Amino acid sequence: MLAVTVAVIALAGATALSAAADTASPSKYRQAVEETYNLVQSASPNDTAAASHALTVLEAGTGMSQPEIIADLQRRPPSFEDAKLRLSALMNAIDQPANTSDPATAQQRLHDVLAMHRYDALHRPPSLLDRFLQWARDRLDQILRLLFGGSGGSSIAGWFFYLIGAVVLAAVAVIVFRSVRGRLSESLVAHQPAGPRAPADYFAEADRLAEQGDRVGAIRNLCAGVAATLAGERTWEGSPLTVREIFQRAPDPGRLRPLLLPFEAAIYGGREVDSATYARAAQVAAPFRQPAEVAA
């Protein structure tokens, strides 16, 4: 899930920049994010008052453009660690925006990457179960505030009510799953991929595309072949890890940089791959190609 998390944080940064242009000047937006970060950083783990203050500052400066951070601050107890991580990434995205000489191509490349199956979770709306859990948590927070005041009550009382809610939800889940017994496993079987692709298939596709002059597609398939060799045949279609993370499994990850860096520049930055760069990338991938082709 780390890849999903990184993608979410990156999208949050892009959303922040867009929101800043629409609702406030970038400097005010950045100031609100920094002030929220300082409040979160200095707060104690269960300081709901500090979380409420930080939430007010964040929403005043950024509106509702950061739903993940807002959700962290609304939790009881607040999720300060996750909020700090997201706020830090957001400030970095504002301070160091990604630039490209061809924004249209870069946007299309980004769209192509996010359209991969591994990022389907980013596009799906919250499920009915997620919505119900959020609704139940909001109602419970309201009850705690009504009983114990604006601070939400003591942590012991809060956890007691959450425990009761968890027991009720578990009972409901047991009833629901028993009523649809067998359907879930059938659905999972029906949605399994038709079959994994061997690393040799990716390398063969890379050769074919390189001959046609499509070096971007070719270097993508080289990376797929190396990734499949390192982490298994289903890695490229279904792994939540990024290519960089998969390549860390190599005995010497640094030697894969001539393959990894042009891949990232081409796929994420919209840059072309010249023949010399591709030749170096193919040379780096060669040691992984040979065991795959022998096995095939």
Using CB atoms within 10 Å of the CB of residue 223, give its burial: 0 to 12 exposed, 13 to 18 middle, 19+ buried. buried
Number of residues in the chain: 296
Say what the pTM is: 0.35
- The pLDDT value recorded for residue 295 is 43
Higher-scoring residue by pLDDT: 182, 250: 250
Lowest mean pLDDT among 115-119, 130-134, 215-219: 115-119
Distance between alpha carbon 103 and the CA centroid of its chain, in Å? 22
- The pLDDT value recorded for residue 25 is 59
User: Please, which pLDDT band fits residue 235 given cuts at 50, 70 and 90?
Assistant: low
Residue 74 pLDDT greater than 70, yes or no: yes
User: Please, which pLDDT band fits residue 184 given cuts at 50, 70 and 90?
Assistant: very low
- The pLDDT value recorded for residue 86 is 92
Higher-scoring residue by pLDDT: 296, 103: 103
φ/ψ of residue 120, rounded to 5: -60, -35
Rounded Cα–Cα distance for residues 168 and 164 (Å)? 6
Contact predicate 90/13, CB 8 Å: yes
**Per DSSP, which regions of the chain are E strands?**
none
Nearest to 224 by CA among 194, 246, 192: 246
Nearest to 200 by CA among 272, 72, 289, 83: 289
Rounded Cα–Cα distance for residues 292 and 286 (Å)? 10
Nearest to 11 by CA among 119, 137, 165: 119
Spatial CB neighbours of 176, under 8 Å, sequence gap ≥ 6: none
pLDDT tens column, 39-73: 999 999 889 999 999 999 999 888 888 999 999 99
- The pLDDT value recorded for residue 176 is 66
Higher-scoring residue by pLDDT: 265, 231: 265
- The pLDDT value recorded for residue 111 is 78
Residue 132 is which amino acid?
Answer: F
Average pLDDT over residues 21-28: 59
User: Please, which pLDDT band fits residue 200 given cuts at 50, 70 and 90?
Assistant: confident
User: Please, which pLDDT band fits residue 109 given cuts at 50, 70 and 90?
Assistant: confident
